[in-house]
Structure 1
């Protein structure tokens, strides 16, 4: 890929918005792509990878550049990826040999070579001990792309065939994830006819392990209490064969609107959305759910591969705020489960303070009403998926 001036300037603009205006990397990249409709797939892929890799390795690149000037940081990123730099003033003195030499120096410092804020490394070691280093190394690798086949409309084999005209190749993941497909190369699947027909959704393989824990069956009344835009809600409807009722709840109305659009494309008509605008909404649902999913807000530490800017935006105070919110949701929303019903508490975090420690506290305070049935830890360094935690609990 030949680096040109307009692309480089747009990359600098994007990085300024991410680091200095506190905007999310994925949203910034999406906006930049829309402004460059003349770009082909190679340019789009190169730009997106440039931004994500610069954000992912910012501390290391800053060390290599010996400056916080974004032009020099960007230049070091391209050199590290093996590209040649244009002969521009901003890149003066930056060479492949220079970057290799600085990389060898950085290897002596774990914080720099893994590009971590000091506080996050300290917290990770306190939480995970010896497991922290392999986990963070895995989280610093670019994520793979997975699809979840919509079983209401297609089989995995049919989706594989439907993607071929777009030169998109995928493969089955494992018997334990019967509807999961892994893309052999990351491509834009949203422009395909198969996506428009609702034959699949983008969903990480780790995320696809959460909903099956609930033991959902057709005809159940299921509540997804932190539904967001509905990735797991749609997985529920698929397992229920579009029979029964799903109540998808969230505090953000725009997310529920997006869920309705996705449900229509997926051919699902058993989902009812409810905006949580007061505590009364939850109280009215007391003991009504056969199955309840609490996919609670969390630090997102398990999905740093997809959202590397989280490393630079997250704070210890924010984790503490989220922990308090998580426990409030767990202790109050759990009341929506029927006696004899089941609930899953889940996060996309790798930290025990947001995961098993929350469940342990819940059982200590309400153990006379609940039993822990099963826990799963999905680790990026072991399964190779995003990091997830889930606990299946049964109400006595």
Structure 2
């Protein structure tokens, strides 16, 4: 593999923006890929995958390259040199890569690989927290799984197609998939590709949604004709899944505090042919109060640390701070206490997060059940999904019934 100057420079620019300006990796990469119309799919995938790789292994590579933040341009080239050596990529004869100490890089890698926080490239506090909450053995396995590249999984939109039909149509457009036996609506891409350009996507036949995330709507136990409220709907991945499971019958009210996310949800619902979705922006407490005691099912897909989805958001490792976790746990409990009031008698509430930490999951549910708002609820079942066991995102979900 030969490195091309313009692709390398684009990657270095992207890394500088992500590390030094605190920008989100996905947004920076999306912008970077639009820089040159002449780039083909291989060029784009080099930029995206190399950038994500160096973001994922930032701590390890910086330690080997002996550089510290904020990174100067030459520091980023040193980190890219480490990437080249460890990936077996030929280092080009450019001034930026002069005197790259290949043997020292390999030696340092072997030495640091014995220490988990370097080997898995993670901040000290996060490593300590994960070990405290999950135990040394599980956390070690989980970290390793969360550092691998996430597979691309899609969900067939049952309002318009079946997984079998979808697989055939995608194959006709040059995209090969495998069906996932334990996930009834999921297909996994055999190779990464820009599926958003396909006619199948434009026709609303599928949504990109991780296999673990697809478990949440199934866990809701919805029936056609019900009234369902998705309280933290965001751009609506789970809302649209619920619409398909309800066969477009009944009503889904999608709430969020971010109006721009709900706009995106409306657009996606239109494409998916989901006609039973109504969006409402939470701009005051009245929005929630109006819905008290009215829903058969309520989903709280709570804001969380996102530690279960580090394989697709590796920059979250460097953005998260310990004090954010304390704040988010308080927010989760407040949301549970407030939004649970939307459930009617005999109705069910599902609390879900994309975190693997018990303090955001099981412990929050137990706390909620001891509150005034939680006294009428009982826990029916809960499910923890670890990345190391499933091969997909880490998730948690709990189903509670209101008596």
Q: Shorter-normalised TM-score: what interval?
A: over 0.9
Q: Which residue of 2 aligns with 1:53?
A: 53
Q: Which residue of 2 aligns with 1:247?
A: 253
Shift of 1:124: 0.9
* Structure 1, unpaired ranges of 5+: none
Q: Which residue of 1 aligns with 2:111?
A: 105
Tell whether the 8 Å contact from 1:79 to 1:95 is kept in structure 2 after alignment.
Answer: no
d(CA) in 1 for partners of 2:243, 2:59:
43
Q: 1:384 aligns with which of 385, 391, 397?
A: 391
Q: Which residue of 2 aligns with 1:62?
A: 62
Q: Which residue of 1 aligns with 2:161?
A: 154
Tell whether the 8 Å contact from 1:180 to 1:205 is kept in structure 2 after alignment.
Answer: yes
- Deviation string 1:373-394 (CA, Å, 9 cap, x unpaired) is 0100111000111000000000
Tell whether the 8 Å contact from 1:50 to 1:78 is kept in structure 2 after alignment.
Answer: no
Q: Which residue of 2 aligns with 1:138?
A: 145
What are the residue-to-residue correspondences of 1:224-303 with 2, within 5 Å? 224-303=230-309
Q: 1:127 aligns with which of 115, 129, 133?
A: 133
d(CA) in 1 for partners of 2:260, 2:320:
24
Q: 1:368 aligns with which of 366, 375, 398?
A: 375
Give the match's secondary structure for 2:280.
strand
Give the match's secondary structure for 1:381.
helix
d(CA) in 1 for partners of 2:248, 2:282:
24
Shift of 1:96: 4.7
- Deviation string 1:210-268 (CA, Å, 9 cap, x unpaired) is 11111101001100000000000000000001111100000001000000000011011
The reply to whether residue 311 of structure 1 matches residue 317 of structure 2 is yes
Compared CA separation, residues 95 and 41, structure 1 to 2 (3 A):
farther
Give the match's secondary structure for 1:182.
strand
d(CA) in 2 for partners of 1:382, 1:37:
41
Q: 2:350 aligns with which of 322, 337, 344?
A: 344
Shift of 1:95: 5.4
The worse-fitting range, judged by mean Cα deviation, of 328-337 and 161-170 is 161-170
Tell whether the 8 Å contact from 2:85 to 2:106 is kept in structure 1 after alignment.
Answer: no
d(CA) in 2 for partners of 1:98, 1:39:
34
* Structure 2, unpaired ranges of 5+: 69-74
d(CA) in 2 for partners of 1:256, 1:108:
46
Shift of 1:166: 2.7
Tell whether the 8 Å contact from 2:10 to 2:47 is kept in structure 1 after alignment.
Answer: no
Tell whether the 8 Å contact from 2:149 to 2:311 is kept in structure 1 after alignment.
Answer: yes
TM-score, structure 1 as length reference: 0.98
Alignment length (residue pairs)? 395
The worse-fitting range, judged by mean Cα deviation, of 189-198 and 82-91 is 82-91
Shift of 1:22: 0.8
Give the match's secondary structure for 2:135.
helix
Tell whether the 8 Å contact from 1:139 to 1:304 is kept in structure 2 after alignment.
Answer: yes
Q: Which residue of 2 aligns with 1:191?
A: 197
Q: Which residue of 2 aligns with 1:20?
A: 20
d(CA) in 2 for partners of 1:173, 1:321:
37
d(CA) in 2 for partners of 1:364, 1:271:
33
Shift of 1:315: 0.5
The worse-fitting range, judged by mean Cα deviation, of 297-306 and 73-82 is 73-82
Shift of 1:90: 1.9
Tell whether the 8 Å contact from 1:80 to 1:96 is kept in structure 2 after alignment.
Answer: no
Q: Which residue of 2 aligns with 1:356?
A: 362
- CA RMSD after TM alignment: 1.1
Give the match's secondary structure for 2:304.
coil
The worse-fitting range, judged by mean Cα deviation, of 148-157 and 365-374 is 365-374
